[in-house]
Structure 1
Amino acid sequence: MIRISDIIDKVFENNPNADVDIIDRAYIYSARVHEGQVRLSGEPYLSHPLEVAGILADMKLDAVSIAAGLLHDVVEDTHATPEEIEAMFGAEVAHIVSGVTKLSKVHTHSAQERHAESIRKMVLAMADDLRVILIKLADRLHNMRTLRFHKKEEKKREISQETLDIYASLASRLGIYWIKKELEDTSFMYVYPDEFRRIEGLVSKDKAERENYIETVKGMIREEMEKHGLRCEVLGRYKHFYSVHQKMISQNLEFEDVYDIIAFRIILDTKPRCYEALGVLHALWKPIDIKFKDYIGRPKPNMYQSLHTTVIGPYGERVEIQIRTHEMDRVAKSGIAAHWGYKEGKQVDENVREKFAWLQNLVENQANIDNPEEFLESVRIDLFPDEVYVYTPNGEIKSLVKGATPVDFAYLIHTEVGNQCVGAKVNGRMVPLKYELKTGDIVEVMTANNHSPSKDWLGFVKTVKARSRIRQWIRTQEKERSISLGREMCEKAFRKYRMNYSEVVKSDEMEKIVSDFGFKALDDLIANVGYGKITPLQVVRKLQRSGVGDEEDSILDKIIHRVRKKKPRTGVTVKGLDDILIRFGKCCQPVPGDAIIGYITQGHGVTVHRVNCVNAMQLSPERQIEVEWLQNSTETYPVRIYIHSHDRVGLLADLAANISKSGANILNVNSEIREDNTVDSVFTLAVKDTVHLNKVLTAIKKVRQITKVKRLDV
C-alpha cells in the first residue's frame, strides 16, 4: 500500500512550493472517518483513497486535487457531510468531492436509473471543474486493479463493460492514453476472458523474436537519423491487447494479419525536425500513402499531436511509426493533465477549455433527455472519439462525429435549421440527407419555413443533439395529437353518461382526479387517454365516485386482467409481476444479460426489446415500461448468428460439433455458397444468456477457415 509520505514526496517533486498542509489534513480526516471499514481484498478501506491520491500525484495534479482524492468517498461511505467538508477544507474541495460522489442515496425507480443519474451528475460537475473526472478516472482505475476480489462474475463483467463504455472513452477524449489503455485491457480481461487469454498467448508466443526485431529496427532508425544530424529518442512498443482485439473485429483480421502489433516512436526537439525525420524515413522505406496522418498540422480534439506514417519496413512488412516532439509526447501521455493550470488558485487556461468544448455539448444535450437508457446511449455516442471536420459556406470549421450527415450538421448550426432542413449541398452538389460527411466537405443546408423533421431521420443521424431534438419534436407532435384524440374520446364518453365535458374539466373534482392518476396537469391526463394508456371509462367512474380514487388505472391493468392464465414463464417480469402476456421482439431477439425495455401494445401485452434496438427507438416513449430479467431462469432463447467462412469438406459438421460442445442447441440453419467459394451461414441457436452466447461465439471462432462471426440484430 502506498504511504502518505510517498504521495507528499511526489507532490514536492512536481511543485516544490506546493501547500501540502491540506493533503495532511485530508489524510488524517479520511483515516478517522474510514476507520474500521475494510475492502473486499481484506485491506483497510483507507488503502483505496491513498492509491487514488497516488495516481493523481503521478498525474502531477495540484494539492487541492490530491486532497479531494483522499476525501472522494467520505460523503458516500461514512457519516461525513458536504457541509463538514466545506467547513474544514474549503468550497473548492467540497465542490470537487460533491461532483465525484455517486447518487446512491437518491430514491429512483431502478438501479439503472440511479446509475444514469450518477453519470449525469458527474457530467455536469466535470464541465464546471475538470478535476472531477480526473479523480473519477483515478478512482475507477484503482477499482479495476482490485476487481479480482469481487466474487460475482456477472458483477465483474457489468463493471468492466461500463468502464469500456464510459470511463475508457472519457480518458481517450481527455487524451490520457495510459489510463485509457489500462482500463481497456483490464476490462477486456473480464468481459471477454477467453479472447483476452488467446491474444495474450499469441503475443507472448514469439516474444523473444519480436524483442530482437524491435532492437534491430530501432537501431536502423537511430542510425539513419544520426546521418542527417537529427538527435532523437527511438522507442518500440507493443499494441495493447484490447486494441489488437478491436482491430481484428473491425477489419475482420486474423491475429497474424495485424501488422502493427509492434509500433515505433521517434521523439525529437522541435516541430520542424519532426517533418525532417518524416522525409528521412520516407526516403529510407516506401510509405503507404493512405496511412499517413498529420496530427501536428491538425491536432485531435484532445490536443494530441503527432505524425503517423506506415512504411514497408526492412523485411518487407508494414511498420507503423509515430513522430513527435518531447512536449507532444508529454501531452500524448497525460492529455489535459499536461496543461493543468490549477496552481495557487489559478484556473485552467482558457485555450485548453476551448479544446474541451465537447463537454459543454454533452451538458447541453443531456438536459433534453429523461429516459435513463437513452441518456447513457447519448453519453456513449458523445464520447465516440472519431471526428470529421467540415466547413460552412463562410469557411467556418465545424467538428462532427464520424458518419454524421447533413441533418446532423443542420442541428449543430441551430435547432430551427435542423427542424426546417429540406435538402443539402456538399461541395456545391446536391446530396441525399443521409449522405456521410467527410473531412474537408463544404456543407450548405437548405430550409423551408413550413417543413418539419421526419421520423425516418432517426434511422441515420449520428449526433446526440440531432437525435434528441428530433425525438423532442416527435414527442411534442404526438402529445398534441393525443390531447386532441383524448379530448374527443372523453367528450363522447361524458355525453353517454350525461356529463358536460366543458363544465366537468373546470371542476374541483377533476383536479383531484388528475392528481389521483399521478399527473400534474389536465392535458397530461387527456393525452394518456389519447395514447390508450387510460380509458375514458376509468375517468368517468372516478368522477361518478365523486373523486374517491380506486386502484383501477392504465392499459397495463387491462392487460393483466385479460391474460391472467396458466402459461410458461418467460424469464422476464414487468414492474415486479410475472403473470402478464410478454412477447420478445423478433427484430432484436433479446437474451438474459442484454439491457432490455418493454413497450405496451394494446391487445398484445408487453413486447420486450433490447434497449439499442433500432425499431424500439422509434416507438413512442410514452408506451415504455420497465422490465427486468428473472434471476435463475432455466429458459433458453433463440438468437441468430451470422458466420462467413471459406468452403471446405466437413465445415458444417465442425461447426455443429463446436456449437454442441458449448451447450447450445441448433434450431435452424441457412447456408449459401457464393461464387468466390465462400459460405454465408445464418444459425438460429438456443442459448441461456449473453455469457453462454459469448462462449458459443468463441467456440465458433476456433473452427478452421471461419473468417467472421457476429450476432445478428435484425
Structure 2
Amino acid sequence: MLRQYELIERVKEYDPDADEALLNRAYVYTVQKHGSQKRASGDPYFSHPVEVAGLMTDLKLDQDSIITALLHDTVEDTLATIEDIERNFGPDVARLVDGVTKLSKIEQMPENERAAENLRKFLLAMSEDIRVLLVKLGDRLHNMRTLHHIKNEEKRRRIARETMDIYAPLAERIGMYEYMREMQLLAFEQLEPEGYKTITDRLAKLRQQDGGQVDAIALAIKQALAEAGLKVEVSGREKHPYSIWTKMAERHVSFEQVSDIFAFRIITDGVEDCYRAMGVLHTTWQFLPGRFKDYISTPKNNGYRSLHTSLMYENSMRVEVQIRTREMHQRNEFGFAAHWAYKQHETPDGAVGWLRDLIEIVDASHDAEELLEHTRMAIYQDRIFAFTPKGALFQLPKGATPVDFAFAVHTDLGAQTVGAKINGRHMPLRTALNNGDVVEIIKGKEAEPQLSWLGFVVTGKARASIRRAVRLKERAEVAELGRKLYEDIADRVPAKIGKKALRLALGRLELEDEEDLMYAIGAAQISDLAVMEALVPGCTAEFADEVPDWSKRDKAISIRGLTAGVGFKLADCCHPVPGDRIVGTRKPGEGVEVHTIDCLTLASGIDQDWIDLQWGQRSQGAVGRLRITLYDRPGTLAEMAGIFAKNHVNVTHLEQTQLDHPFTAYEVDLEVQDLAHLTRMLSALRASDAVAQAERI
C-alpha cells in the first residue's frame, strides 16, 4: 500500500501546484473514517481507496480526482455524509464522490437491478464529468485485482460477470485498453477457470519452446524498416489470453489452430512514417487480404488511432502488427484519461455523442433488465462505418441495419423511417450494413416505430427508442379507452361533473393530471366506485357490497332499435361488444348485421339499409377479437392462458398468425361481458412480461 508521503510525491511530480495540505487531509480522513474495517484479504479497508488513488496518479489526474478516489467509499461504508465531504473538501469533490459512490441499498437489490442501478447512477454522473467514470474504473480494477480473496465463489463470479459485461466494455469504449485487458483477464480467470488455466499453461509452454522467436521476429521487422531509413521502436508479445479464448470460440478451433498468437507494435515519430512502415512490411512479407485496417484516417469512436495488418511470416506463421506514433500510443492505452491529463481537463469531443446516446438510453429504458441490455449493446466494440448521402460518417456495431443507422443520425429520423436506400438501391429495413455503405433514409411524417423492428435492430439506442415509442402508443390507447369508460362513470354519479369536481377528484386520488386518471381507469388500476367516490364523496354507499362476478351473469344479448321478430348477428369483421357505438346493416330478405360505428366494412355498404341501434341489457356473450404478440420463449403461451382464466373470459378461437423470432403473434376471439371487460383484459395482457403487444382488431 502507498504511504501518505509516497502518494503526495506522485501527485507533485506531475502537478507541482497541487494543494499538499488538502491531499494530506483527505488521506488522513479516509484512514480515520474506515478505522478498523477490514477487506476480505485481511488488509485494512483504507488500503483500497489509497491504491485507487495510486491508479489515478498513474493517469496523471488532477487533485480533485485523487481526493475523490481516497474518499469514494466513505459515504457508503462509514458514517460520513456528502455534506461532510462538501464542508471539508469543497462542492466539486462532493459532487464527484456522490457520482462514484454506490448507494448502500443497491447491494440489497437483485443482481440485474443492482447492476443496472449502479450503472444508471454513474452514467448520469459521468455525463457531467468524465472523472466519475475514470475513478469508478480504477475502483473496479483494484477490486478485481483482490477478487481472489473473496471466499464465496458465487459472489466472485457475479462480480466477474458484471466486470466482463459492463466495466471492461466501458473501459474499451473510452479507449482505456490497459484497464480493459486486465479486467478481462481477471474476470476470465473466474468465469472460465479451466479455459484460463489451459491457455495460460499453453502460452507458458510456448514461451519455453520458442527459443527467442518473438525477439527474432521483432528484430527482423526493425531491420527491414531501418534499411528503408525508418527509425522505429518494435516490441512483440503474446496475445491476451482472453483474446485467444474468444478467437477459439468464434472460429471453433483449438489452441493449436490459432495461428496468430503473436502481436507486434511499431512506434514511429510521425504519421507519414506509419504509412511508410506499412508499405515496407507489405513488400517484405505477404500480407493477409481483408486484415488491413486504417484507424488513423478513420479513428474509432473512442479516439483510437493506429494501422493494423496481419503478415505471413516465415514457416507460414501469421503475426499481427500495429503501427502508430508515440502520441497515438499514449492516447490508445489510456484513452480519455490521457486526453484529460494533457488537454487541460476538457472532455474529448468524441465523447460527447456517445455520452449523449447513453443518457438517451437511460431515459428510455423501462426497467433494470432493459437498461442493461441496451447499454451492453451501446458499448460493445466491433464496429462498421457507414455514410449519409452528404458524407457524414457514423460508426455502428456489426450487423447494424438502416433502422439502427437512422436512430444513430437522430432519434426523430429513426422514428419516422419508412424505407431506405443502400448505395442507391432500395433495400429492406432489416438488411445488415457493410463497411463503407452509403445509407439514405426515407421518412414519412405520419410514420412511427414498429414493434417488429425489435426483431432485427442491434443498437441499444434503437431498441430503447422503439420500446419507448411502443409503450407511449399503448399508454395513449389505454387512456383513450379509459376516457370512454370515464364518461359512463360520470353519468352514474348524482351530480353534473365540471372541471372543479374533476380537479378535486385528482387530488383525492393522488394523481397528477387528467391523462393519468384516464390511463388508470383504462388500465384497471382504479375501480369505478373509487372514481365515483372521488368525484362525489359519499355517493357510493349503496354500492358498498357490490362485487362484480362475470361468471354469474346472463349470457343473452339484446339490441334496442330492431323491429320485433327481426333476427340479427354480430359482424365478424369488427366484433362489436356492449359499450361500442353500433349501427345495423340489412339487405332485403336478410337479417340485420351489427357493426361498430367505425367498422371499415361500412364504407362499402352503399346498397344496404343502415339502422341506428343501441345495446339493450348489458350482458355477456359478445366476442371481441385481439391481436396478441408474445415473446417467443417457453411459458409465454401458458401465461397468456392464465391471464384469460383470471379475468373470466372464454376463448372461442385461437390462431397463430406470425412467427418472427423473437416474437409470435396470435389472433384470439374472447367472449366478454362488455367493452369495460375487454379493456381490462387488454390492460392485464399489456402488463405481462410475456406480452410484447396487445391490441383489439
Residues 1:347 and 2:411 are matched in the alignment: no
Map of 1:297 onto structure 2 = 297
Indicate how the Cα distance of structure 1 residues 341 and 233 shifts in structure 2: closer, same or farther if over 3 A, else same. closer
Map of 2:447 onto structure 1 = 451
Residues 1:527 and 2:527 are matched in the alignment: no
Map of 2:556 onto structure 1 = none
Instruction: State how 1:242-257 maps to structure 2 within 5 Å.
Output: 242-257=242-257
Residues 1:407 and 2:403 are matched in the alignment: yes
SS of equivalent to 2:458? coil
Map of 2:421 onto structure 1 = 425
Alpha-carbon distance between aligned partners in 2 of 1:249 and 1:441, rounded to the nearest angstrom: 29
Indicate how the Cα distance of structure 1 residues 501 and 133 shifts in structure 2: closer, same or farther if over 3 A, else same. farther
Contact 2:529 2:540 in 1 (8 A): no
Letter paired with 1:623:
A
Quote the offset at 1:236 in angstroms.
1.1
* 1:306-358 CA-partner distances (Å, limit 9, x unpaired): 11111111111211111122222222221122222489xx532x6x2344531
Map of 2:119 onto structure 1 = 119
Structure 2 counterpart of 1:373, from 335, 358, 369: 369
Contact 2:386 2:395 in 1 (8 A): yes
Alpha-carbon distance between aligned partners in 1 of 2:436 and 2:476, rounded to the nearest angstrom: 41
Quote the offset at 1:122 in angstroms.
0.3
Contact 1:311 1:319 in 2 (8 A): yes
Instruction: State how 1:156-171 maps to structure 2 within 5 Å.
Output: 156-171=156-171
Indicate how the Cα distance of structure 1 residues 376 and 196 shifts in structure 2: closer, same or farther if over 3 A, else same. same
Alpha-carbon distance between aligned partners in 2 of 1:132 and 1:387, rounded to the nearest angstrom: 26
Indicate how the Cα distance of structure 1 residues 248 and 525 shifts in structure 2: closer, same or farther if over 3 A, else same. farther
Alpha-carbon distance between aligned partners in 2 of 1:551 and 1:115, rounded to the nearest angstrom: 46
Instruction: State how 1:585-600 maps to structure 2 within 5 Å.
Output: 587-588=632-633
Letter paired with 1:166:
I
Contact 1:59 1:334 in 2 (8 A): yes
Indicate how the Cα distance of structure 1 residues 61 and 347 shifts in structure 2: closer, same or farther if over 3 A, else same. closer
Map of 1:46 onto structure 2 = 46
Map of 1:712 onto structure 2 = none
Percent sequence identity over matched residues? 40
Structure 1 counterpart of 2:643, from 583, 592, 602: 602
Indicate how the Cα distance of structure 1 residues 176 and 530 shifts in structure 2: closer, same or farther if over 3 A, else same. same
* 1:14-63 CA-partner distances (Å, limit 9, x unpaired): 34454433221210111111112111211111110111011111222222
TM-score w.r.t. length of structure 2: 0.74
Contact 2:364 2:464 in 1 (8 A): yes
Contact 1:301 1:356 in 2 (8 A): no
Quote the offset at 1:144 in angstroms.
0.8
Indicate how the Cα distance of structure 1 residues 341 and 502 shifts in structure 2: closer, same or farther if over 3 A, else same. farther
Alpha-carbon distance between aligned partners in 2 of 1:22 and 1:128, rounded to the nearest angstrom: 24
Range with greater deviation from structure 2 (361-370 or 161-170) = 361-370
Instruction: State how 1:530-549 maps to structure 2 within 5 Å.
Output: 530-531=522-523
Letter paired with 1:36:
S
Contact 1:406 1:424 in 2 (8 A): yes
* 1:352-390 CA-partner distances (Å, limit 9, x unpaired): 234453112211331222312111222111112223322
Alpha-carbon distance between aligned partners in 1 of 2:544 and 2:281, rounded to the nearest angstrom: 77
SS of equivalent to 1:367? helix
Quote the offset at 1:526 in angstroms.
4.3
Map of 2:437 onto structure 1 = 441
Contact 1:599 1:623 in 2 (8 A): no
Instruction: State how 1:173-572 maps to structure 2 within 5 Å.
Output: 173-210=173-210, 212-341=212-341, 346-348=344-346, 352-488=348-484, 499=493, 503=497, 506=501, 511=506, 514-515=509-510, 520-521=512-513, 523-524=515-516, 526-531=518-523
Indicate how the Cα distance of structure 1 residues 419 and 364 shifts in structure 2: closer, same or farther if over 3 A, else same. closer
Alpha-carbon distance between aligned partners in 1 of 2:148 and 2:641, rounded to the nearest angstrom: 40
Contact 2:532 2:539 in 1 (8 A): no
Quote the offset at 1:433 in angstroms.
0.9
TM-score w.r.t. length of structure 1: 0.73
Letter paired with 2:643:
Q
Alpha-carbon distance between aligned partners in 1 of 2:462 and 2:288, rounded to the nearest angstrom: 37
Contact 1:514 1:521 in 2 (8 A): no
Which is greater in Rg? 2
Contact 2:61 2:341 in 1 (8 A): no
Letter paired with 2:142:
H
Indicate how the Cα distance of structure 1 residues 299 and 417 shifts in structure 2: closer, same or farther if over 3 A, else same. closer
Indicate how the Cα distance of structure 1 residues 303 and 494 shifts in structure 2: closer, same or farther if over 3 A, else same. closer
* 1:586-637 CA-partner distances (Å, limit 9, x unpaired): 94459xxxxxxx999513679xxxxxx94499999951479xxxxxxxxxxx
SS of equivalent to 1:175? coil
* 1:462-501 CA-partner distances (Å, limit 9, x unpaired): 2233222222221222122223334445666888xx5579
Letter paired with 2:345:
Q
SS of equivalent to 1:363? helix
Indicate how the Cα distance of structure 1 residues 625 and 312 shifts in structure 2: closer, same or farther if over 3 A, else same. closer
Range with greater deviation from structure 2 (498-507 or 131-140) = 498-507
Indicate how the Cα distance of structure 1 residues 49 and 109 shifts in structure 2: closer, same or farther if over 3 A, else same. closer
Contact 2:291 2:309 in 1 (8 A): yes
Contact 1:116 1:372 in 2 (8 A): yes
SS of equivalent to 2:381? coil
Quote the offset at 1:118 in angstroms.
2.6
Indicate how the Cα distance of structure 1 residues 109 and 76 shifts in structure 2: closer, same or farther if over 3 A, else same. closer
Map of 1:664 onto structure 2 = none
Alpha-carbon distance between aligned partners in 2 of 1:617 and 1:115, rounded to the nearest angstrom: 32
* 1:170-191 CA-partner distances (Å, limit 9, x unpaired): 1101111111011011111112
Quote the offset at 1:540 in angstroms.
7.6
Quote the offset at 1:303 in angstroms.
1.7
* 1:610-666 CA-partner distances (Å, limit 9, x unpaired): xxx94499999951479xxxxxxxxxxxxxxxxxxxxxxxxxxxxxxxxxxxxxxxx
CA root-mean-square deviation: 3.7
Contact 1:291 1:310 in 2 (8 A): yes
Contact 2:454 2:463 in 1 (8 A): yes
SS of equivalent to 2:437? coil
Range with greater deviation from structure 2 (124-133 or 447-456) = 447-456
Alpha-carbon distance between aligned partners in 2 of 1:339 and 1:458, rounded to the nearest angstrom: 37
SS of equivalent to 1:602? helix
Letter paired with 2:53:
A
Contact 2:506 2:512 in 1 (8 A): no
Contact 2:150 2:156 in 1 (8 A): yes
Alpha-carbon distance between aligned partners in 2 of 1:469 and 1:239, rounded to the nearest angstrom: 38
* 1:212-239 CA-partner distances (Å, limit 9, x unpaired): 2212212221222222222222211121
Alpha-carbon distance between aligned partners in 2 of 1:178 and 1:116, rounded to the nearest angstrom: 25
Alpha-carbon distance between aligned partners in 2 of 1:605 and 1:231, rounded to the nearest angstrom: 78
Gaps of 5+ in 2: 551-629, 648-660, 667-681, 691-697
Gaps of 5+ in 1: 559-584, 591-597, 607-612, 627-714
Residues 1:138 and 2:130 are matched in the alignment: no
* 1:269-309 CA-partner distances (Å, limit 9, x unpaired): 22222222212211221111210111122122222221111
Range with greater deviation from structure 2 (410-419 or 327-336) = 410-419
Alpha-carbon distance between aligned partners in 1 of 2:281 and 2:409, rounded to the nearest angstrom: 42
Map of 1:690 onto structure 2 = none
Number of aligned residue pairs: give it: 575
Alpha-carbon distance between aligned partners in 2 of 1:544 and 1:60, rounded to the nearest angstrom: 67
